[in-house]
Structures are given as C-alpha cells and as structure tokens.
Amino acid sequence: MRPTRRQLLRWAAAGAAAWSTPGCPSPRRTARKPSRVLGRIHGQNARFGHILREGGLGPPPKGALESASVVVVGAGVAGLACAWRLRRAGVEGVLVLEAGETPGGNARWGENEITRYPWGAHYLRAPTREHPALERFLTEVRLVRGRDAQGRIDWDTRAVCADPLERLLEKGIWRQGLLPRDADPEEVRRFEEFVESFARRRGRDGRRAFALPLAASSRDEDLLALDRRSFADWLDEKGFRSPGLLWYLEYACRDDYGCTLATTSAWAGLHYFAARADEGPDREVILAWPEGNGRLVQYLLEAGQPRLRTGRLCYRLLPERGEAWVVSADGGARSRCRGEQLVFAGPSFLLGRLLPEPPPGLEDFTYAPWLVANVTLARPPGGVGAPLAWDNVFRASRSLGYVVANRGARGPTVVTWYLPLTGDPREERRRLLALDHATAARLVVDDLLAAHPSLADAVRAVDVWRWGHAMIRPVPGFIWGEARRLAASHEGPLVRAHSDLSGLSLFEEAFYRGVRAGEEVLRRRGVDFDSYL
C-alpha cells in the first residue's frame, strides 16, 4: 500500500525509538501443524489453456452467431469500464465476453459462509486531479458524495478503511506501520525530499512529473530517462544504503509491480511515491471492502449493464470483420460474436495467439506470476505488539503477508495471503502452475504459522489461486518504450483496453484504458461526446 510522506517520517521516528526497546523474543515454534487442509485450487480452466497454447479449433458453424453494437473481449476492470463509458454515451447492447466463471480480472472475488474476500486487487486510493473519469464514476455510485469548500472529498465513510491500517512483524513483535526499525531516519528524510521535489515539479509541457493516470505525466527527457535504468541503480547513485529503507522500497515494488528494485524501472519506482504526494488530505484515504476491488467490479456491472457472457473463451479475433470466435466452457460449443466495433480488453500477450498477424513488440510485455490464498481460520490472528490491522506484513518472508477480509470479527475469519513471484517470469510461472493444492497449502500455512504459531489448530481451509500472468512488469525501458507506445496508440481496426497498455497494473490505469477505449469506439461510430478524460 502506498504511504504518505507523513506516514514514512512517523514510521522512521518510531523505528529509531524502537532501538532502545529490550530484546525482542523470537516467534514461538509450534510442534504441530494441520496434517490435512481443506480447500482447492480455483481459477483458470485447464482446457481453455490447452486451446490457447495448441490451437486447432476451426471456425464456428455459420449459423452460430450473436450480434451486438460493440463486442468487448475481457470482463476485467478495463473491459467493464469501456462498457460503462459506452452506456453513458447511449450505446446499448454492448456484449462482454469473459473466459472465466466470474468477471473482474485480477479484481475477482470469492465468498464462503463467513465473508466475501478478494482474489487479487484489494483497495483503491482517492482519485487524483488528473483522473476526472474515475471521480465521475465514484460519484455516480455514491462513494464520493461531493467536495467541500476546500476541495476535499466527502466520502461514503462506510467504504473508507479504518485504522489500524498496517503493521509489520519483526523478530516476533508487531509494530505499527511498514517501515522497519533499521530504516535510517536521515535516509528516510532524504528520500522523502526527492519525492517531494518530484511531486512539486511541473515539466516544460506543464504536466506533473509523475501523474496518475500515467498518460498525464510529463514527457521531459530527463524524466523519461529514469525509465531506462533500474530503481536499484538510481537508489545506489543517490547513496541510499539503509537496509530497512531498501527493504521497504523493494516491498513497495513487489506489492504494486511484482518486481524487485533491480527489475523495476526508476521511473516506476519513483512514480509509486510521487504520483500521489501532492494530493492533500485525500491522499491518505483508502477505500476497501471485504471482497476488495470486487465491490468496484460489481458497481461497474450495475452501472454499465453489459450483456455479460462468462465461460466464453475467445480463441480467434478477426478485427476487420468485427468478429470474435468463442468456445464455451459448458460443452465446447463454438460461435461467432460480431460487433460494429471490436474491443480487446485482455492482456496483450494473448494477441500472439488470437490474431492472424500479431502486432510487433509483444515480447516486451512481461508479466509477474502471483500465488494468492484465502485462508479460513477459526479465530482471528493475534500477536505481540500492535493489534491486528487491515494489512499485516512479515519482514522475514518472501510473501507480502495478508489482509483481513472481515476485520473486527471475533469468531471465524478469512485472511488473504499474497506471494509475488519476482524471479524469471517464465520459470516462476512454470513452477507455480505445477503446484498442487497440498503443496501450495503447505507453503501458505508454513508462512502463516511462522508469524502466528498459535494458529496451528485454527486453520480450517486454504483456497488457492495461481495467477500465471497477474500483472504487467514495469521493467527498465518498458513504460516509455516503443512497444508500449505502439500498443496504446489505437492504430488499426482493433481497439485495445488493458492496464498493461500503461505498464502499471493499477485499477486507476485499467479504468483509464477502458474509458479511453470506449471513447475511441464513440469516435469510430461518429458519436458527438464530451470526453471524461
């Protein structure tokens, strides 16, 4: 989660004071772990994956045709935002095709007898001034109720995440905030000075140095040059050596990008901190629900009212005809879906398998795999020190820790555990998809019990989602490189909408790309409109 300058400095001061605390005990070891854990692997349809890899399906029968004004392939945030924008312009009958059983992309959610829970993205920050389309949507669904005389947003407080927001486990003790004890306060202060400088800067083109959505950022050459080097290289050049600070900065890159300091571009690393640093009091607001951003997906479905078809894999795109060839999960029936316009709102790497002539540059789009687990517990986690927070992070773990779906419950609860796989994506993906449920559950439970030994008798189920292509990786040279620029240009008959066209896997970017695609469709239809962007 993205911190504010005030939070970083407060955490640094608290960390410095903590050095005088008497020795911290190590976590108590547990002799007994659950021998068998209930649950299963959720997610991808193995048959669909085989179809995409191997091909072999011919054209659908001639009579199997569903027509629509616009066909959107992909019911993630971008695809649903596109449908919402089209409906607001009076375009009815938008058909949205989704290969999965449920919509939402990496904002999908699940539910059991205890609570709803996220399968991926789990919060949203306040919209920036450069994102009027998002504020318009949040106002429409009554999450934003207006602004006061000072311009501060009046929120629906039921959606605002309550304190405590975060805690960090170090040497058996939970501490409020996410900055470790050994983060040197002077280095933290100096890093924040860089962030403040970038946040205040306006380029020669009048744009903010780092903005959200990314398209509103300055194109000054010295800023774009930051994209051609790694965040690790930039930090080293500036003399940042504090282990605690470097751990925290890498945690941020793993959390938002699925990357390390060495594989994140310096531009992306600085954007994480500087894009919101000039937003006033609203920058500290976090919107969160038990099902995470699945709640926003539900709002998009209600507001956009597309004709949604789930369990429909697109296995061929013919943009010149406005056609998508699809196969159904329930029986394998094939059909054509034809629209006056065709929008592809899936990840770009799939175009190599869907188009007769794939566009250039697809090899530059790389994606981080993630393992996500929802763990049903008989009771909430505890711990020594700071109380249970919404976001609970382990210093000595490859995982990011967990968020609590139904924080405040005294009885059974569900925690959502996240592990970004930051090595070579192909190798990490191969190992991830080879995991069976027992192995994955053991990995998750071992990590949780290292932090919470007393939960050994409380684990009831571990449900797992293996995200092979969870998020686009903003590696050095990608965000402001030629491949992304061409992909985002809307050249040719196929309109594209996905967060990977921005190079940042954020709700804000997916929403922007969906609205932009919707407005491109309106232009091609000859519709007069006032842009939301």
Positions of the chain with pLDDT lower than 70, given as ranges? 1-35
What integer pLDDT is reported at residue 28 of this predicted model? Answer: 39
Helix ranges (H only) for 216-264 are 221-224, 231-237, 243-257
Query: What's the maximum distance between 2 C-alpha atoms anywhere in the chain?
Result: 77
- Among 79, 109, 108, 106, which residue's Cα sits nearest to residue 95? 79
The secondary structure of residue 196, as a DSSP letter, is H
What integer pLDDT is reported at residue 283 of this predicted model? Answer: 84
Cis peptide before 164 (omega within 30 of 0): yes
State phi, psi for 182 to the nearest 5 degrees. -90, 20
- Among 75, 66, 64, 71, which residue's Cα sits nearest to residue 99? 75
What integer pLDDT is reported at residue 29 of this predicted model? Answer: 45
Report the CATH number of the 46-111+290-362+475-525 domain.
Answer: 3.50.50.60
| Residues listed for the chain | 533
Q: Which residues pair with 467 in a beta bridge?
A: 370
Place of tokens 């005030």: 6
Query: Reduced to 3 states, what is the DSSP secondary structure of residue 248?
Result: helix
What integer pLDDT is reported at residue 33 of this predicted model? Answer: 67
Residue 311 has which token pair?
């369990």
Q: Where are the domains of the chain?
A: 46-111+290-362+475-525, 165-286, 366-472
> Burial of 526 by CB count in 10 Å (0-12 exposed, 13-18 middle, 19+ buried)?
exposed
What integer pLDDT is reported at residue 518 of this predicted model? Answer: 99
What integer pLDDT is reported at residue 85 of this predicted model? Answer: 99
Query: Reduced to 3 states, what is the DSSP secondary structure of residue 380?
Result: coil
Contact 363, 351 (CB under 8 A): no
CATH fold of 366-472 reads Polyamine Oxidase; Chain A, domain 2 (3.90.660)
d(Cα 78, Cα 7) in Å, to the nearest integer? 31
- Threshold 0.85, pTM exceeds: yes
Contacts of 417 (CB under 8 A, 6+ apart): 372, 373, 374, 375, 399, 401, 402, 444, 447, 448
